Amino acid sequence: MKIALLEDDPHLGKLIMLWLEAAEHEATHFHNGESLIEALGHDSYDILILDWVLPGITGDKVLDWVRQNLGWDIPVIFITQNDSQSDIVAMLERGADDYMTKPVSQDELLARLTALGRRIKNPDKGAIVLDKKPYQLNLESHSLNREGENIPLTQKEFELAAYFFTHQGEILSRASILEKVWGQSVELNTRTVDIHVSRLRKKLGLTGDYGWRLVGIYNHGYRLEPTGS
């Protein structure tokens, strides 16, 4: 895969570059956000690895620029010293696909990149459009419409919606949601799931008004169910 690494620590940057090249990835190391944004204006990458705390344009601002100008198709993973739960949730809500705190291990980083790359190289080859009236989910373009109107979703929100709609009526535990949507190696507090479910319920109107209700099952997880209306 073609990977852009944004890391201002020259020693850590060199080490990660060695890991990426040993795994046969084509990687480019950027030392500041300005140079990465400039490169993204004329080049494309399969995955972006971003540090957060940087001189000049910080990693979170780079993420905002990417989502505003390049959309949601490029997976973004953060590697940073900011390790509080609020920091992690904030970046996931702003559009990051994954989040690792320093120090990172070679095996874990490469495993997470493989998981993100699998989504790029092997999109769902089943039904292209999942029709759950009044919702239509395009599993190829990762877009969702309700009554013909597009509803903007982050990548994780779309994957979460697709997981619920393809398992309608089933009780899905928070652990299973974390595994299927965020990947087996991701160690996140289940609060991450609760926040994303709450946002998804609000965005899609999954409160019964449109024929579907996303409900919490005490001590178990969540279930998406038709209301019959």
Q: Residue 225: beta bridge partners?
A: 213
Which structure tokens are listed for 146? 């309700």
Q: What is the pLDDT of residue 201?
A: 95
Statement: residue 59 has pLDDT above 80 = yes
Q: Which CATH number fits domain 2-121: 3.40.50.300, 3.30.300.30, 3.30.310.80, 3.40.50.2300?
A: 3.40.50.2300
Q: Residue 173: beta bridge partners?
A: 221
Full-model pTM:
0.62
Q: Are 225 and 168 in contact (CB under 8 A)?
A: yes
pLDDT tens per residue, range 154-209? 888 899 999 999 988 889 988 888 888 877 544 556 678 888 899 999 999 999 99
Q: What is the pLDDT of residue 119?
A: 62
| 10: preceding bond cis by omega (within 30 degrees) | no
| Identical topology for domains 2-121 and 129-226 | no
Q: Residue 221: beta bridge partners?
A: 173, 217
Q: Are 91 and 53 in contact (CB under 8 A)?
A: no
Q: What is the pLDDT of residue 124?
A: 47
CB atoms within 10 A of CB 145: 14
Q: Is 55 exposed, middle or buried (CB count within 10 Å of its CB: 0-12, 13-18, 19+)? A: exposed
Look-up: residue for tokens 């999942």?
A: 130
What percentage of the chain carries pLDDT values higher than 90?
Answer: 49
| 188 CB-near residues (< 8 Å, 6+ apart) | 88, 99, 178, 182
Domain range list for the chain: 2-121, 129-226
pLDDT tens per residue, range 11-48? 999 999 999 999 999 999 999 999 999 999 888 898 99
Q: What is the pLDDT of residue 83?
A: 77
Name the class of domain 129-226.
Answer: mainly alpha
